[in-house]
Amino acid sequence: MIRHALALLASIAFTQTASAQEIATQSNRTKIEMVKTFDLRGDARGAFRQFKRKSDFFGAIYINRPERLAGVYSNANSPWLAETYAQTLCHKKSRNPDYCVLYARSLPKNYDPTAFAITLSHTGNKEFREYLKLQNKKRSGAFAISDSGAVGYSWAEASTQVAQEQAIRRCAKSANKSLRDTQESLAPLLSSPARLACRVIHTSN
């Protein structure tokens, strides 16, 4: 059932895609941006230590200070998505979700929030650089992403249409896998059509 749904979403996304757009590629270096500075206790303290140690961008951590718990998400395609997912996790854990506040973000080292460009997750940046290396001026390639964190790309295809179809297909397969592996509390959010749908954000030739 999920595979059929993803196939349908992929075909819909394909009809809506545009040609190449600007991608804000980043290095692997990250920085932690503090939003709040209050002391942490209990599970919240341990969660923040792990968040700093991993620090894949784009990431966010929400803290419920009175209940000493946290909602953490990293490796999203944008700061907005990271914060949405982290807040959802904090709300799911909390007796009183109103206490959940954004505590810190994990961002690329040279991130410019005013730049008008498509952003990618830590993993997405690595995959995009690999995709660029594989491109051939005489052939076609495409790179697709979804808000669930999935990516898929193609190279050395006979036409732009085929390249986009292959990128969407691989992205949909990745989205299916990420949904199976995701945290149970996030599954309802990540399984929505808007989150699973893959879209092509870059084409070559």
Question: What's the burial of 178, exposed, middle or buried (CB within 10 Å: 0-12/13-18/19+)?
Answer: middle
pLDDT digits (tens, 9 = 90+) for 40-90: 999 999 999 999 998 899 999 999 999 999 999 999 999 999 999 999 999
pLDDT digits (tens, 9 = 90+) for 138-179: 999 999 999 988 999 999 999 999 999 999 999 999 988 877
pTM of the model: 0.85
